[in-house]
C-alpha cells in the first residue's frame, strides 16, 4: 500500500499482536518485519528488519498491562523508526494507559497522562491515533495532531442487531460519563439515565441514585473502561433495584484487572461487551458473560484515510 506520504508500513509492538494482524489483513498488507525482544536483564531491544526510509509508518501498540513495558516498547520502536529515517511516524494506541491520571487529583500528585504524552512526542511520533480517550481533553496534552476515534459505530451496529430498541434505555454509570452515553443514546434514539453516586457523610457507604426512568427497560451501561468491574456490578444492582428488566454493558477498554472476570461472572449483568483494544486474556475468553467486538476494521479505515490524507472524522458521521 502506498499513501500520499510514501510507502505505508505497519509495525506491531507486543501488546496486541492479534489486533495488529487483523488490521494488517483489513488493509491487505503485511506487518513490517521487526524484532522487539528483551535482553537478559529485561531491557527492550528493537530491530526494524526492513527499509523504512521515507515511509509513512504506523506503530500499533496499546499501553495496556504491563503498562510500563508496553509504553517503553512504543517509545523505543518510535526511536528506532526515527533513526531509520521514516518520513512520518503515527503512534496508533488503541488503549491509552495512564489516561485516568489526567489532572492533579490532590496536592503533590502528578499529571501522568501529560508526562506520557510528552514522552511519546519527544521519542519522535509525528501523530497519535487513539480510541475513546478517558477524557477528550487529553488530546490537548499533545502538541502534534491527535485523532481520538470512537468505538460507538461498532457498538451501535451490534446493539441494533441484538435488541428491540423500543425497550432499551442507555445508562451512564457515573456523572463523568454522561457525554459518552448521551452520544450513543442519540444514535439509537433511546432514553438516557444516569447513576449518581453519593456519599452523604464521611464513613457512610455510597448511595447509588438512578436519575431517569429505567422501570421495565433493558438497560445498556456505556463506559470507556472496565477495570475492577466494581462500577459496573454496583450499577447493575442499582438499576435492577429500580425496576430495570435486565442489564447489559458496552465498554470500550476491557482492562479487567485482578479478579474482575470472576466478579462480572458472578454479577447480575446479563452480558459485558468489550472491544479488542486490549488483547483479551484467557480469563476474558473463558468468561461466560463477556463478549469481544473487534475494532480492527475501524482502525484500519482510519489508518488508510490518514495515509491518503482523507477525512477521519467522516468515519463517525
Which part of the chain contacts ligand R5P (CB under 6 A), choosing from 8-16, 116-124, 202-210, 223-231? 223-231
CA distance 151 to 275: 8
Among 126, 132, 147, 223, binds ligand R5P (CB under 6 A): 223
Q: What is the DSSP string of 135-202?
A: SGGGGGG-SS-EEEE-SHHHHHHHHHHHS-GGGEEEEESSGGGHHHHHHHHHHHT--EEEEEEE-SST
Task: Work out whether 227 is an interface residue with ligand R5P (CB under 6 A).
Answer: yes
Which part of the chain contacts ligand R5P (CB under 6 A), choosing from 27-35, 54-62, 155-163, 168-176? 168-176
Angle (CA) 48-14-134 rounded to 5° is 120
Task: Work out whether 254 is an interface residue with ligand R5P (CB under 6 A).
Answer: no
Backbone φ, ψ for residue 57 (5° rounding) = -110, 135
Q: Is 87 annotated as a binding residue?
A: no
Task: Work out whether 94 is an interface residue with ligand R5P (CB under 6 A).
Answer: no
Among 224, 239, 273, 280, binds ligand R5P (CB under 6 A): 224
Among 13, 94, 97, 229, binds ligand R5P (CB under 6 A): 229
Supply the DSSP symbol for 268: S
Task: Work out whether 225 is an interface residue with ligand R5P (CB under 6 A).
Answer: yes
CA distances (Å), origin 225, targets 173, 255, 316: 11, 7, 20
Task: Work out whether 177 is an interface residue with ligand R5P (CB under 6 A).
Answer: yes
Task: Work out whether 230 is an interface residue with ligand R5P (CB under 6 A).
Answer: yes
Active site residues: 197
Among 176, 191, 216, 258, binds ligand R5P (CB under 6 A): 176
Task: Work out whether 97 is an interface residue with ligand R5P (CB under 6 A).
Answer: no
Helices (H), the chain: 17-26, 67-83, 112-123, 152-162, 178-188, 230-241, 260-265, 282-286, 296-307
| Contacts by 72-75, CB closer than 8 A, 24 or more apart | 72/44, 73/13, 73/14, 73/15, 73/36, 73/44, 73/46, 74/13, 74/120, 74/123, 75/119, 75/120, 75/123
Decide whether 33 or 199 has the Cβ nearer to ligand R5P.
199
CA distance 78 to 59: 8
Task: Work out whether 32 is an interface residue with ligand R5P (CB under 6 A).
Answer: no
Decide whether 169 or 226 has the Cβ nearer to ligand R5P.
226
Decide whether 187 or 263 has the Cβ nearer to ligand R5P.
263
Site map for ligand R5P, 1-20, x if CB under 6 A?
A: --------------------
Site residues, ligand R5P (CB under 6 A):
173-174, 176-177, 223-231
- Binding residues are 41-43, 100-101, 134, 174, 199, 223, 227-231
- Binding residues for D-ribose 5-phosphate are 199, 223, 227-231
Amino acid at each position: 500500500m502506498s499513501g500520499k506520504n510514501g510507502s505505508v508500513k505497519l509495525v506491531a509492538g507486543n501488546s496486541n499482536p492479534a489486533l495488529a494482524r487483523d488490521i494488517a489483513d483489513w488493509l491487505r498488507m503485511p506487518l513490517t518485519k521487526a524484532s522487539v525482544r528483551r535482553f537478559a536483564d529485561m531491557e527492550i531491544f528493537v530491530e526494524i528488519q526492513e527499509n523504512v526510509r521515507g515511509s509513512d509508518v504506523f506503530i500499533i501498540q496499546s499501553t495496556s498491562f504491563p503498562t510500563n513495558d508496553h509504553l517503553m516498547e512504543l517509545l523505543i520502536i518510535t526511536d528506532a523508526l526515527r533513526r531509520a529515517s521514516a518520513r512520518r511516524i503515527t503512534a496508533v494506541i488503541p488503549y491509552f494507559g495512564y489516561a485516568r491520571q489526567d489532572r492533579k487529583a490532590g496536592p503533590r500528585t502528578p499529571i501522568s497522562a501529560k508526562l506520557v504524552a510528552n514522552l511519546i512526542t519527544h521519542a519522535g511520533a509525528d501523530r497519535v491515533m487513539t480510541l475513546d480517550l478517558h477524557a477528550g481533553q487529553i488530546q490537548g496534552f499533545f502538541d502534534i495532531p491527535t485523532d481520538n476515534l470512537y468505538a460507538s459505530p461498532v457498538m451501535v451496529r451490534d446493539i441494533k442487531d441484538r435488541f428491540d430498541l423500543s425497550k432499551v434505555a442507555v445508562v451512564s454509570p457515573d456523572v463523568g460519563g454522561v457525554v459518552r452515553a448521551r452520544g450513543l443514546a442519540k444514535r439509537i434514539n433511546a432514553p438516557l439515565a444516569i447513576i449518581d453516586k453519593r456519599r452523604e457523610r464521611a464513613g457512610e457507604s455510597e448511595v447509588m441514585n438512578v436519575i431517569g426512568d429505567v422501570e421495565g427497560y433493558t438497560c445498556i451501561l456505556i463506559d470507556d473502561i472496565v477495570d475492577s468491574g466494581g462500577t459496573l456490578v454496583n450499577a447493575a444492582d442499582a438499576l435492577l433495584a429500580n425496576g430495570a428488566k435486565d442489564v447489559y454493558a458496552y465498554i470500550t477498554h476491557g482492562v479487567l484487572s485482578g479478579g474482575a472476570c470472576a466478579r462480572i461472572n458472578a454479577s447480575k449483568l446479563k452480558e459485558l461487551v468489550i472491544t479488542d483494544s486490549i488483547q483479551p486474556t484467557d480469563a476474558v475468553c473463558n468468561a461466560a458473560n463477556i463478549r469481544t467486538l473487534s475494532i480492527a476494521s475501524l482502525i484500519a479505515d482510519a489508518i488508510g484515510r490518514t495515509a491518503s490524507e482523507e477525512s477521519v472524522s467522516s468515519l463517525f458521521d
